A = this chain, B = another copy of it.
């Protein structure tokens, strides 16, 4: 098995065209679809659930907050990628000013208190693609909730039902 000729045969192909295609097609979501309504989660905050990947724990949310909103301090166990669609916000723990178009990359295991500026010209809309748990504390520092891709999906569906809004689950990308 180890003479030159055989080794030649055994070497992997150098032709990148021979790389096989993933059996998984891209998952495409149109958040403007009628079947993906804004759902209220409390405090006049609205959200839409767009995707969840059960193998990575990554999921996608659209969240909408009125000017002046401050949400309870939370901590992510995974990374977060965020894109600001409109409005003006920051984390109380940091000093950036995010506006339409701003991108944020967060490292695992950091605590944040999201604050929409009182003078935000419109509701703040944030798109996040994130992994892991989101752990929320109340004002006294007591644990309020542990959430993840699965609980956020369950919330979206149950809050929609409670608010008589119809969700077409088939529009949500489940990987």
Contact = CB atoms under 8 A, between A and B. Distances in A.
Interface in A90-117: 91, 94, 96, 98-99, 101-112
B162 A9 contact: yes
Interface in A4-51: 6-7, 9-14, 16-32, 40-44, 50-51
Contacts of A110: 21-22, 24-26
A173 to B, nearest CB: 6
Contact of A7 (B43, B51, B144): B43
Contacts of A141: 17
Contact of A2 (B13, B40, B53): B40
A9 to B, nearest CB: 7
A148 to B, nearest CB: 6
A120 interface: no
A54 B24 contact: yes
